Amino acid sequence: MSSEEQSNAAAARRWREAIMPTYGTPGLELASGSGCTVTDAEGNTYLDLLGGIAVAALGHAHPAVASAVSEQITKLGHVSNFYSHEPELRLAERLLQLAGVDGNGRVFFCNSGSEANEAALKIARRTGRPNVVAADRGFHGRTMGALALTGQPEKQTPFEPLPTGVSHVPFGDAAALDEAVDEDTAAIVLEPVQGEAGVIIPPEGYLQSAREIADRNGALLILDEVQTGIGRTGYWFAFQRCGIVPDVITLAKGLGGGLPLGACIGVGRAAFLLEAGQHATTFGGNPVCCAAALAVLHTIESEGLLEHACRVGKEIIAAIERLEHPAVKEVRGLGMLLAVELDGDIAAAAAESARERGYLINPVRPDTLRLAPPLILDEQRANEFVRDLAEVLSEAHGGEGKN
């Protein structure tokens, strides 16, 4: 066994002996990162094309985030929700501006996407209506309320009974959604793009139809932008490409640039349904996390990363399509949220082959690879990956394909 194999085996053993078995044992121990590159405990480097599952919007150890966090922690690290502070106020105001709802919205800060969706579900409950309609294969988190919204029975079954009143319809099917929503529906809960399902983009007009259906029935439209928000799709929020405004927006992942931060934004009447004492979280709006988020938003805007994400994402899709590899069924995505659907359940093998060549990608489904790289990924590194992807796919596919 090589020294590298010994090191990974030792880390795996320590993991199994200290960490609850809620995840598979990692096969790689990371030690540091810079930009789009991470380094393992043995000094091997990898191009990180997953970004902590769409979290590292600016990559690793970005100077703007590091500076903001370092400065804030020397001033004020935590205050609870009994007191206000400038980073939280500035961040709330900025998010409302970016969403186009300043003056008509309010923000609740929390620590994760699941927490943001729990807050959204409680907002829905406060309408007094009993039911919520969500989508098959959607993913909204693993806490009990968020899990009830998640349209994946394999994740739900071990924890039943879940909170009641949630039904699921096929994603992208406006007619099915229309049939399911009525005067007892408190809210429709959707992802603009289903990330964990394999980067599934709904048909044109679907979100507009969801908005109209919600309005016609007096229901809220809740959009889970945990994975798609903060520039991931080339827009500040994915709903902006559709020309609509939801009643509730949930955020996390890229918002904190690597620090744990979530947000639930209520718009119009949804901004005021939760009253004092009805919801809270101790660490929500933490000054250090808010300072990091402000640095993320400023950098995305000042460096033109929305346009960059659109351009590079399209180039990656086109380049993979030009490979004409027999293992590839479809390449899809928006901005820097991409998927490569394969012609068999070879995604795990492809991800392992990619890692051996210095790339970290995610087998999000047995037949699908997900890419969610930092928004700063440049064309050169993207082209290097696509060049090597042909060999990766050929190895996973049994040696076939063009090179």
| Binding site feature residues | 139, 142, 224-227, 281-282
Q: How many residues does the chain have?
A: 403
- 369, 350 contact by CB (below 8 A): yes
Q: Hey, what are 278's tokens?
A: 């009805």
| Euclidean distance between CA atoms 364 and 199, whole angstroms | 9
**Nearest CA-CA partner of 99 in 253, 216, 258, 271:** 271
99 SS3 class? helix
Measured at the CA of 227, the angle between CA 223 and CA 231, to 5 degrees, comes to 95
DSSP strand E in 41-130: where? 45-48, 105-110
Numbered residues of the known binding site for N(2)-acetyl-L-ornithine? 142, 281
- 126, 274 contact by CB (below 8 A): yes
From the CB of residue 349, how many other CB atoms can be counted at a distance below 10 Å?
A: 18
288 SS3 class? helix
**Residue holding tokens 């829905």?**
124
Numbered residues of the known binding site for pyridoxal 5'-phosphate? 139, 224-227, 282
Residues 6+ apart with CB under 8 A from 69: 259, 288, 291, 292, 295
| Euclidean distance between CA atoms 275 and 244, whole angstroms | 26
| Euclidean distance between CA atoms 236 and 300, whole angstroms | 9
| 103 burial type by CB count under 10 A (0-12 exposed, 13-18 middle, 19+ buried) | exposed
Q: Hey, what are 121's tokens?
A: 């579900």
Three-class DSSP labels, 233-274: CCCCCHHHHHCCCCCEEEECHHHHECECCEEEEEEHHHHCCC
* Cα–Cα distance list, 303 to 58, 68, 165, 250 (Å): 11, 17, 44, 25
**Cα torsion 27, 114, 204, 168: sign:** positive
